Amino acid sequence: MTRPPFPTAVIFDLDGVLVDTARFHLAAWRRIADELGFEFDDEVGEALKGVGREAALLVLTRSGGVELDAATAERTAQRKNRYYNESLATLDASAFLPGAEAALGWLHGRGIPIALASASRNARTILVACGIEDRFDAIVDGTSVPLAKPDPAVFLAAAAAIGVDPSEAIVFEDAIAGVDGALRAGCRVIGVGDPAVLLRAELTVPDLTGVDWPALMGRA
Ligand code: G6P
Ligand code: MG
């Protein structure tokens, strides 16, 4: 299938793209590393982004040379989620990252299909807290697709849910795992963050204010 000249749909990652929650995930993982007695390394922090909770714990413990049995790993992942949820308790619309609310409004106003593709099982809580649940034509998260990024499953499910071929969708991602998963799904990808980190994205913007939506989508 030949790619249309402009994307016909947009798929957003949530944490670190639309809302400023990536730092809460990192703070919770840092606390776990402290408890397990090793130092949290910022490079490992990048590798944890976009990765599902249990897989992220494994990446973290390996980085610290620690091995947990299955029961301890499960309890540790639950504890991390408790710490994370403590920081979500006060979350509201002030957590939007720059340009996020305007982007959703612009796309929604033109009837352009919007999907969420997040590895998080807390995604819906966050959307509700920020009052943007109704902006999405489809919400695919860690509760609906167990295979986390870089597996392409979450992006394939998101494209299918809004009725487009993955090649017609443009994905916004702040995680290396997310960029790779979206590319594997056959989507176009714009990185949100540091171009030196998100090397495989076709373009990287510091935040969504850096996107010229009419030019990108071929719409006035
Ligand atoms: C997002 C975040 C990851 C997090 C994952 C699972 O993709 O970028 O840092 O590990 O979701 O989140 P959860 O809220 O289910 O623990
Ligand atoms: Mg993210």
Could you list the pLDDT tens digit for every one of the 220 residues in the chain?
A: 567 789 999 999 999 999 999 999 999 999 999 999 999 998 999 899 989 999 999 999 999 999 999 999 999 999 999 999 999 999 999 999 999 999 999 999 999 999 999 999 999 999 999 999 999 999 999 999 878 899 999 999 999 999 999 999 999 999 999 999 999 999 999 999 999 999 999 999 999 998 999 999 999 7
CA distance 220 to 202: 23
Judged by DSSP in three states, 10 sits in strand
Q: Which of 58, 57, 23, 55 is nearest to 42 (CA)?
A: 23
Query: Is 208 a pocket residue for ligand 1 (Cβ < 6 Å)?
Result: no
Q: What is the pTM of this model?
A: 0.94
CA of 131 to the centre of ligand 2 (A): 19
CA distance 175 to 113: 22
34 has catalytic annotation: no
Q: Is the bond leading into 150 cis (omega within 30 degrees of zero)? A: yes
CA of 53 to the centre of ligand 1 (A): 6
pLDDT in tens, 128-177: 999 999 999 999 999 998 788 999 999 999 999 999 999 999 999 999 99
pLDDT at 1: 56
- Strand ordering across the sheet containing 9-12: 138-140, 114-117, 9-12, 169-173, 188-192, 203-205
13 has catalytic annotation: yes
Query: Is 175 a pocket residue for ligand 1 (Cβ < 6 Å)?
Result: yes
